Structure 1
Amino acid sequence: MLDTLRSIVQEVSAATDLSDALKVVVTRIRNAMHTEVSSVYLYDSEAKRYVLMATKGLNQDAVGKVSLGSSQGLVGLVGSREELINTEDAPGHPRYHYLSETGEDKYHSFLGVPIIHHRRLMGVLVVQQQERRKFDESEEAFLVTMSAQLAGVIAHAEATGNIAAAAKATKTPKEARFSGVPGAPGVAIGTAVVIYPAADLASVPDKFADNIEQEIERFETALIAVRRDIRSVGQKLSNELRPEEMALFDVYLNMLDDRALGAEVIIKIREGAWAQGALRQVVQRYIGHFELMDDAYLRERAADIRDLGVRILAYLQETEGLGQVTEYHENTILVSEELTPAMLGEIPTDKLKGLVSVKGSSNSHVAILARAMGIPTIMGVVDVPYAQLDGLELVVDGYRGRIYSQPSDQLRKQYQRIYLEEQALNKDLECLRDEPAITLDGYRIPLWVNTGLITDAVRSRDRGAEGVGLYRTEVPFMMKDRFPSEKEQTEIYRQQLETFAPNPVTMRTLDIGGDKSLPYFPIKEDNPFLGWRGIRVTLDHPELFLLQIKSMLKASVGLNNLRIMLPMITSVGEVDEALHLIYRAHAEVEEAGHKVKMPQVGVMIEVPASVYQISDLGQRVDFLSVGSNDLTQYLLAVDRNNPRVADLYNSFHPAVLTALYKIAQDAKAINKPVSICGELAGNPAGAVLLMAMGYEMLSMNSSNLPKVKSVIRGVTQVWAQELLAEVMQLENAQVITATVELALEKVGLGRMIGPGRS
């Protein structure tokens, strides 16, 4: 039945709307299982009733008209129990409810399975037969599998109101919510504009060229046009982005270089292919190569190549650019299967309010640029029928990673209020810029920031940051198509150090692997988060590590505000080896005539192994810094970039808080400074607990810094410690979160725990 299942899924996926999809389902299931009846009942959560939406075998006139209460009949029993019911005598079952309009009285055998999508009951799938018999296990398994596939189809239909249309109950589309990964914080309300390539590479046929030189000329003309478009996009964004971020467009131009993709296409043309066919062959080979890789960053590079390919094809087909959008709404939410940096430049920045990408992660090029530009962004949205969203009103919640299509008046007003409150709050907090983060009873805690682009650094300084707790050095590496030279690295690091001098800047050594990789340094692994990443990579490549350390040291000459931090440490052996290389690099830099002070060196505590080695690790370094994002991820076994399990990722989990408390106490026992640079530090509710635990510095996203400062200045250290003692006795993450937030509301700080809370 596996082949049958695949065939049905393919046919259902090709259906134009929900009604057609359900007709396919009931017809194909009846044929596959050789039953007399196959039906789908969808659950209307507002009316609390199951509506017969499609059937093959029962009375067709009953479709859309007949319904059952939420606990009525065998269908209601399947739904309430959320498990299958298999009986050979349905009329004899005590929960049987006869529907005369359907003509089902002659059918005795009944098998019903619930249709559930992300824990939400969507409906019930039913097969029936006159013969008295129990359906066997293979039939049960087939119907359960089919219902799981159908759940996604129904969820897609909800987004554009197809459920209501199919039921003919109302013309008002239903509100639908989809979850993704937060790419850039903020709230946006606007109209969806779906970007999709007008040119379809996959549909290009193979043809022989009538005139090879003419085909080459056509291709080169298209190549020139696309290069011009890319440069134009870059120029449009030049006022929004720094040179470091503008390097993304150089990556695009390098792909189009005569010695790269362009050269391979011309070789294919000279072999006899027409320009479009040659382009398709080369681009699809590139795409296939990258899409086979497990690494998320390299898969995103496939999207870049596909984007360039369709742009070139569009010119070859004598279309103008992408050619599907000429006017944008005043409040545009840009939506695409895979957003690319070039797409951002095609819309006036004053009209672009939000971004939604079906694919990609928080480390995608687009997410990095969106954070730099301050555009609320959602990446990796699950099960959203993005092509059907064009023209619909959307709400983008960049804090929680959610989008809402066709929001109700109540939801729209709620998010509009959040947006206005955020704007007003940010304005109110501007006065705190130069004030210290000091509690009402005199306890002072420095607030630092996490940065990756120079734009982040400038914005952070303007918001009153006292230093950099985490500078992600991998970001400039990601912006290039090769390893940056020592000179290039030195210039980039110097910018960061000068921006904050004389305040400290903590530079994390190259941290690639997991969901961060480099196109020119592929890492292909089945389980990248437990694989070759962080310090493991750089210790295996000491030439890269030494070059980076030397660049950092040279950049700090005359400033001496550099701190070096080692990521993904799991053993003292790694620290000893890294320190040996750092001392060597320092000696070589001084021998070359550069007088530079030996910087402080610290380690990141972000894997469970390091939690239990605080004493040994602390004796070797100058400071400790907790990376709470990865630590939470590893402790809870939850990939925070996977929207299907994102709800399980919670930094207020008792196990996480217990680990954080242990780290702070163990560091205090050896008199070693300990800080934290994860998202929890930027959460006002989390910051209060961390301060109470004994963390001596908090580092966060610059947008959260004013809120955290305001909360710290509004409470006492004693109050925070009493609150910590209370929550450490609790055993549920949601209860802990609610307890802290309620406590803050009671002291008049409720507005600080708005949409950015965990």
Structure 2
Amino acid sequence: MPLTASTAAREILTGLHEVMAKRGSAQVKLDQVVDLIAGKMASEVCSIYLLRDNKLELFATHGLRKEAVHVTRLGMGEGLVGTIAAEGRILNLDEAADHPGFVYRPETGEERYHSFAGVPIVRLESPIGVLAVQHADPRRYEEVEIEALQTVAMVLSEMIAGARLVDGARRGRLRSAGPLRLSGLRLVAGMAKGEAVFHEPRVVVEHTVAEDTEAERERVYGAFRKMREQIDNMTREAEFGIAGEHQEILETYRMFAYDEGWSRRINEAIDSGLTAEAAIERVQQRTRARMREIDDPLLQERMHDLEDLSNRLLRIVSGRMGTAAQTGLTRDTVLIARNLGPAEILEYDRRRLKGVLLEEGSLTSHMTIVARAIGVPVIGRLPDIRHSVQEGEQILVDGDNGSIIIRPNRALTTGFEHRMALSQKRRAEFAAVRNLPAKTRDGVEIGVMVNAGLAEDAVALAASGADGIGLFRTEFQFLISATLPGRDRQLRLYTKVLEAAGDKPVIFRTVDIGGDKALPYLADVHDEAENPAMGWRALRLSLDRSTLMKAQARALIEASAGKVLRVMFPMISEPWEYEEARALLEEQLEWARQGHRKLPKRVEYGAMLEVPSLAEMLDQLLPRIDFLSIGTNDLTQFLFAADRSDPRLAERYDWLSPAILRFLKRVLDAARAANVPVRICGEMAGRPLEAMALIGIGAENVSITPAAVGPIKAMVRSIDTAEVRARLDAVLAKPPRDMRKALADWARRHSVTIS
């Protein structure tokens, strides 16, 4: 086997080029191709399977029985070949029969072969076949061999498509002339309507084998220079009104554009004999394959950024640079893309961009963060969207429910416009209530604060009508940074937040990373546990990595000079963890004191109750804290042993179940007896019916999303506290079968604003 993937692939590509240039049928050429690959790779078997009628048909083979050609067929997902095609990934096995997906086909005579390696043959981002090699001796194939196979598979896809040997890329949902409703994942809430516009024209790599390697290299160098210039300009010109996390996202994106490892991999692909376009696509396919194997959403997001840059580079080198942003939006637009990078959405005219629909997308993606900042509804996880709509067709976007309607008829459009008008009217009504006091009909004041994680959130605090920031998630700065934020960067953020908040209180939660919030620059904090939410994360990690917490404590102390520093520690299981965290922060206070630095006016310490075990130790904890915050999101999943990220469990528990309400009431009663204020954080407190129930069990302080302030205040101002508490006492003493329905019916009868 040659020493490098480049030389291995180059030798095969040279032979392929000669085969493709000859006269002869496609079948004859494929027979020659498998013989060529087998010879160059010293492989006992080389086979090509192609997708026809949704079956993977053995089209050519060297080493297996010839009579199996056009006879052996495997369904998508069936056997090793079907698994590769269905999942679009590589298999490299020293013992094929040990794989759970292995299927034996006696007509092939493959029983004497043990090792197996296969790669997908991809066209237009979808597998159209599989290229596989086999050996009698059990062994795993070297990385250089797999790289060579992938490069050859890419060139084969051009030949196969040109000969029209396959059905084409796997079809998405068949289009129809009538309305079509699709559901996805709500990423950014809001309602919008507009015409479908595709973010970018699909660049199809038509010529894969290079005639002049150095000329192709120069084309790539020129494209890199142009792309980096574009990114630099976007980074300078991005306007958010305030520097901070969004700027850091773009800086991370810019860092990828200058990544030497990426450009080196493209050069290596050119060395193997590929054109500039094919080399970029080859490296992009490798990135996609890696994305399928990564469970960490943050690492996936870094890969999405790299894929976004690959698309940009491919458009430049192919001369097809015009995205919809460059051609300009002339009408209200719903943008459609497989995915978007954080910089790309900023290229669009915000007056015309009404919504974004993505085949992929995630709640933690950089693009989602930017879209939320500029107020554009986004729905993700719509895998069929690019196959289900044509440019210019009307789309209704319901970002609140994560659904869309394509090609709506007049009745659907009228109904949607009516709901949009009602939504705008409700928003206007809630906006009018925002600045009114959250006081019940019988005079009980309810503290309404907001959850935040960005400097921009603090700037918007005055407009939100909230009493302050009840939960500032400091980890957000860590999650969107390319490198670990040092004390100075943290200090700048915390100072901005406190200055923007003015006289309103801000409660900083110390960094909650680890688990599902892994950081690529802290590889050793990745949690491989089956349920990372209950693993090495939050305060557990911070106490173990004390230098991380010390740097944050110093930044918080310096930012709060002359002000009140309110800090709370997440995911405390037992009081000793709180004591250790508090002692660590007080050590940093002493450091600041000895350094003659200006100190906070005072420090208030709080604990977050998210782990149920802490409720059993409240008699020990409450005398030592200034306030208690209850994180209902994690607490609920721990109480019900139900992962809140698993859609199959979404309806298996309810925040209005008697179990959670009784648990919370017990905590609230204990804290009231100890004269310790309690604040409910999390989604539960931001829903009017649930918030009504919380007030009914004794809650008087909540911290919610800014968008929920108006609806929650409207609910508070419509209730009589004594009546609500009497009702909750009654239903918790003898719970009805359906607590939610019982409370909703009671709210309607008593004219409580819960809609």
Counterpart contact for 2:575–2:614, Cα < 8 Å: no
Aligned to 1:660: 664
Partner secondary structure for residue 217 of structure 1: helix
Q: Partners of 2:344 and 2:188 in 1: how far apart?
A: 17
Match 1:172 to one of 178, 191, 197: 178
Counterpart contact for 2:656–2:693, Cα < 8 Å: no
Q: Partners of 1:493 and 1:197 in 2: how far apart?
A: 43
Counterpart contact for 1:441–1:717, Cα < 8 Å: yes
Q: Partners of 2:648 and 2:359 in 1: how far apart?
A: 13
Counterpart contact for 1:439–1:713, Cα < 8 Å: yes
Counterpart contact for 1:654–1:730, Cα < 8 Å: no
- CA change 1:680–1:225 in 2 (3 A) is same
Give 1:717's aligned amino acid.
T
Kindly indicate whether residue 601 of structure 2 is the aligned counterpart of residue 595 of structure 1.
no
Aligned to 1:76: none
Unaligned runs of 5+ in 1: 1-6, 15-26, 33-153, 162-170, 754-758
Give 2:631's aligned amino acid.
G
Partner secondary structure for residue 612 of structure 1: helix
Aligned to 2:317: 316
Match 1:634 to one of 635, 638, 648: 638
Give 2:387's aligned amino acid.
A
**Residue 275 of structure 1: how far off its partner (Å):** 3.9
Give 2:380's aligned amino acid.
M
Match 2:719 to one of 715, 718, 724: 715
Q: Considering only aligned residues, what root-mean-square deviation do their CA atoms show, in Å?
A: 3.5
Aligned to 2:334: 333
Aligned to 1:56: none
Give 2:740's aligned amino acid.
T
Give 1:572's aligned amino acid.
P
Normalising by structure 2, what TM-score?
Answer: 0.71
**Residue 325 of structure 1: how far off its partner (Å):** 8.1
Kindly indicate whether residue 299 of structure 2 is the aligned counterpart of residue 298 of structure 1.
yes
Q: Partners of 1:178 and 1:10 in 2: how far apart?
A: 30
Aligned to 2:688: 684
- CA change 1:204–1:237 in 2 (3 A) is farther
Counterpart contact for 1:359–1:380, Cα < 8 Å: yes
Kindly indicate whether residue 388 of structure 2 is the aligned counterpart of residue 388 of structure 1.
yes
Q: Partners of 1:353 and 1:196 in 2: how far apart?
A: 17
Aligned to 2:503: 502
Pairs aligned (count):
595
**Residue 516 of structure 1: how far off its partner (Å):** 2.5
**Residue 556 of structure 1: how far off its partner (Å):** 0.6
- CA change 1:628–1:384 in 2 (3 A) is farther
Q: Partners of 2:507 and 2:466 in 1: how far apart?
A: 13
Counterpart contact for 2:312–2:321, Cα < 8 Å: no
**Residue 418 of structure 1: how far off its partner (Å):** 3.0
Aligned to 1:696: 700
- CA change 1:357–1:427 in 2 (3 A) is same
Q: Partners of 2:248 and 2:190 in 1: how far apart?
A: 25
Partner secondary structure for residue 183 of structure 2: strand
**Residue 287 of structure 1: how far off its partner (Å):** 5.0
Q: Partners of 1:706 and 1:374 in 2: how far apart?
A: 18
Q: Partners of 2:51 and 2:726 in 1: how far apart?
A: 56
Match 1:672 to one of 673, 676, 681: 676
**Residue 236 of structure 1: how far off its partner (Å):** 6.2
**Residue 372 of structure 1: how far off its partner (Å):** 1.9
Counterpart contact for 2:569–2:606, Cα < 8 Å: yes
Aligned to 2:519: 518
Q: Partners of 2:318 and 2:458 in 1: how far apart?
A: 44
Partner secondary structure for residue 613 of structure 1: helix
Q: Deviations over 1:137-195 (max 9, x none)?
A: xxxxxxxxxxxxxxxxx99648x43xxxxxxxxx534x434242x32222223333343
- CA change 1:548–1:206 in 2 (3 A) is farther
Q: Partners of 1:675 and 1:230 in 2: how far apart?
A: 43
**Residue 348 of structure 1: how far off its partner (Å):** 1.2
How do residues 450-599 of structure 1 correspond to structure 2 at under 5 angstroms? 450-522=451-523, 523=526, 525=528, 526-560=530-564, 562-597=565-600, 598-599=602-603
Give 1:661's aligned amino acid.
K
How do residues 230-379 of structure 1 correspond to structure 2 at under 5 angstroms? 230-234=231-235, 237-239=238-240, 242-257=243-258, 259-262=260-263, 265-266=266-267, 275-280=276-281, 282-286=283-287, 288-289=289-290, 291-322=292-323, 326=327, 328=329, 330-379=331-380
Give 2:618's aligned amino acid.
I
**Residue 349 of structure 1: how far off its partner (Å):** 0.8
Aligned to 1:737: 740
Q: Partners of 1:578 and 1:721 in 2: how far apart?
A: 36
Partner secondary structure for residue 460 of structure 2: helix
Give 1:172's aligned amino acid.
G
Q: Partners of 2:717 and 2:553 in 1: how far apart?
A: 38
Match 2:628 to one of 624, 627, 637: 624
- CA change 1:429–1:222 in 2 (3 A) is same
Of 326-335 and 442-451, deviating more is 326-335
Unaligned runs of 5+ in 2: 1-48, 57-72, 79-169
Q: Deviations over 1:496-541 (max 9, x none)?
A: 1111132211111111234323332242524322323222222221
Q: Partners of 1:621 and 1:649 in 2: how far apart?
A: 31
Q: Partners of 1:235 and 1:216 in 2: how far apart?
A: 29
Counterpart contact for 1:615–1:667, Cα < 8 Å: no
Counterpart contact for 1:192–1:389, Cα < 8 Å: yes
Q: Partners of 2:198 and 2:448 in 1: how far apart?
A: 40
Aligned to 1:223: 224
- CA change 1:409–1:278 in 2 (3 A) is closer
**Residue 350 of structure 1: how far off its partner (Å):** 1.2
**Residue 492 of structure 1: how far off its partner (Å):** 0.5
**Residue 701 of structure 1: how far off its partner (Å):** 0.8
